[in-house]
A = this chain, B = another copy of it.
Amino acid sequence: MVTRKRALKAPPDSDTDSRVQRSKHTVLAATYELLTQSGLAGVSVDAVSKRSGVAKTTIYRHWPSRSALLLDACSRMGSRAQTPDTGTLRGDLETLAFHVAGRLRTAPWAAVLPSIIDAAERDADLAGVQARIHAEMRYPFCAVVERAQQKGQARRGVNPAEIVAAVLGPLFYRRWFSREPLDDTFVKAVVQNVISQL
């Protein structure tokens, strides 16, 4: 009856334990796999356990809930593109746009982002994740635009955010809404269109 509380004295989580590290890594890998194959909905602790071979108990020992695991795995989906410097704004934007288009054409990202966006409508935590992913993706675009503005290659009055919208918007639209192929011609046309306003 005496429900002795875990007398875990000092180390809050023993990250040094090799077993722990192995478990965590295996689980996250399996989660990521599932995520890219079946979207958020396909990630259940059961499924992760089965695929990874790690017992459900162990998973719950390291993440307090399914959401937490999801969060952790999603965090590994950010963009982290380098800010390019080709000399011209058009060149920089095209480089970035091609990069994004490339990711949109391959599985993991394009299949999972809608899941996350959907969930973000109803779940605050995932909305946070989505915001982070979006911020990472947007950052280099803003950077090149602002640099161009400072160098006088673009008008000052334009809000960089709108530029980003004008580039990413049509790309996303093409991938997820109209579902037409995201070919290079289209990407170039989008960039060209944006440049023409600056």
Q: How would you classify the secondary structure of chain A's contact residues: helix, strand, loop or mixed?
A: helix
Q: Quick one: which of A165-179 are within 8 Å of B by CB? A: 165-166, 168-174, 176-179
Q: Whose C-beta in chain B lies nearest to the C-beta of A170? A: B169
A3 CA / B55 CA spacing, docked (Å): 10
Q: Quick one: which of A91-139 are within 8 Å of B by CB? A: 110-111, 114-115, 117-118, 120-122, 127, 130-131, 134, 138
Given the known interface contacts A1-B26, A39-B118, A111-B121, the answer about A165 and B170 at a Cβ–Cβ threshold of 8 Å is: yes
Least CB distance from A50 to B in Å reads 11
A3 CA / B50 CA spacing, docked (Å): 11
A3 CA / B26 CA spacing, docked (Å): 15
Contact across chains for B179 and A131 when beta carbons are under 8 A apart: yes
Contact across chains for B121 and A118 when beta carbons are under 8 A apart: no
Contact across chains for A177 and B172 when beta carbons are under 8 A apart: yes
Known: A110-B121, A166-B190. 6 other contacts (CB 8 A): A41-B41, A120-B179, A131-B179, A166-B193, A172-B173, A193-B197
